[in-house]
Amino acid sequence: MGKEFLINAGLTETRMAVLEEKRLVEIVIERFHVSRRVGNIYRGKVENILPGMEAAFVNIGMEKNAFLYVDDLQVFKGQEEEVNGPAPPINKLLREGQEIIVQVVKEPMGNKGARVVTNLTLPGRYFVLMPSVNYIGISRRIEDEDERERLRALAQKLQPRGMGLIVRTAAEGVDERELRADRDFLLNLWQKIRKKSRKGPVPALLYHDHDLLYRMLRDLFTEDIERLIIDEESAYSKALEFLNSMNPRLKSRVELYRGSLPLFDYYGIEHQIKEALQNKVWLPSGAYLVFDQGEALTMIDVNTGKFTGSTNLEDTVLATNLEAAEE
């Protein structure tokens, strides 16, 4: 058994577990009362420019202004630098009170606002559309050179003028008709966002990314996933509906769980989550890890604990570190 996805759809949250050989390797939780902002696109207003930090604060309607770093700021029309010329300072690119369209790439945390960029990306099933960058890219996970060249040629053929396309892993083996449909969907979405950005108040939300189930099907549910198990009938039906338009070939891999035990209990997920959240984790040899999390970093202390080795200190430390790295 290889890689599996499990979806626990509750009344207040949706949880997704990623299993590899039955072992939990990732858990994603989306709580309905907590707004997810990463991927959202806003029409905002520049509130403050900080030349000393090469950054600006942008009001996008949140409690704290969003942070825009100069490297995440596209050069707008009329501001293009000469080839090989130095990057202009941020106060030459923006002015206070200016309205700009930005996309959230990092959630607010603590006393920090969201981080935003002006190089927007719109992900589809097979492409990522970049409205402001003239570029073609191919996923590195597509390794066959002939397939890469085929997809590059199709991407160049389908590339909207002045925009960029990144070919996603799911596009491997997909024909031109399906690729064109995905391109058309993204282009139509961008046109709606542009139209919405020309009117209404500022700040304003222009585009809200989809929920966890949709994002998982769009971004992660590829040919290498053996099964997707969902424990709620409406979420199961929704997944089949999404896949019917995204990738009908994968519908047969979606299962509705009907067991008497809760899904995450049946597969041992709750126990693995509980273990993973402890700050002290024992390793099979008797060594252990201690996790301490701060705002700036997470510290991991590796201890030999009950493991004394069988030869010398150097081998004992190496064996402990190798075991810790795998964990």
Q: Tell whether the model's pLDDT for residue 81 goes beyond 50.
A: no
Q: What is the C-alpha to C-alpha distance for residues 246 and 195, in angstroms, rounded to an integer? A: 26
In sequence order, the β-bridge partners of residue 247 are none
DSSP 214-241: HHHHHHT--TTEEEEEESSHHHHHHHHH
Domain ranges of the chain: 3-34+210-270, 41-119, 122-197, 279-326
Q: In terms of Cα–Cα distance, which of 260, 185, 247 is closest to 221? A: 247
Taking the whole predicted model, whether its pTM rises above 0.85 is answered as no
Q: What is the C-alpha to C-alpha distance for residues 203 and 46, in angstroms, rounded to an integer? A: 10
> Which strands sit side by side in the sheet containing 254-256, from one edge to the other?
23-31, 13-20, 3-9, 225-230, 254-256
Return all residues near 136 (Cβ < 8 A) that are at least 6 apart.
Answer: 152, 155, 156, 159, 164, 165, 166, 167
Q: In terms of Cα–Cα distance, which of 27, 8, 30, 29 is closest to 18? A: 27
pLDDT at 83: 36
Would you say 114 and 35 are in contact if contact means Cβ atoms under 8 Å apart?
no
Q: What is the C-alpha to C-alpha distance for residues 94 and 49, in angstroms, rounded to an integer? A: 8
Fold of 41-119: OB fold (Dihydrolipoamide Acetyltransferase, E2P) (2.40.50)
pLDDT at 17: 96
For range 52-79, the mean pLDDT: 85
Tell me the pLDDT band of 79, cut-offs 50, 70 and 90.
very low
pLDDT digits (tens, 9 = 90+) for 217-226: 998 998 889 9
pLDDT digits (tens, 9 = 90+) for 178-231: 999 999 999 999 999 999 999 889 999 999 988 999 999 998 998 889 999 999
> Which strands sit side by side in the sheet containing 122-123, from one edge to the other?
122-123, 127-130, 164-167, 136-138
Q: Tell whether the model's pLDDT for residue 76 goes beyond 80.
A: no
pLDDT digits (tens, 9 = 90+) for 274-299: 888 888 888 888 888 899 888 778 88
Given this structure, which CATH class describes domain 3-34+210-270? alpha beta
pLDDT at 206: 96
Tell me yes or no: is domain 122-197 CATH 3.50.50.60.
no
Tell me the pLDDT band of 111, cut-offs 50, 70 and 90.
confident
pLDDT digits (tens, 9 = 90+) for 137-161: 999 999 999 999 999 999 999 999 9
Helix (H, G, I), strand (E, B) or coil at 195: helix
pLDDT at 86: 63
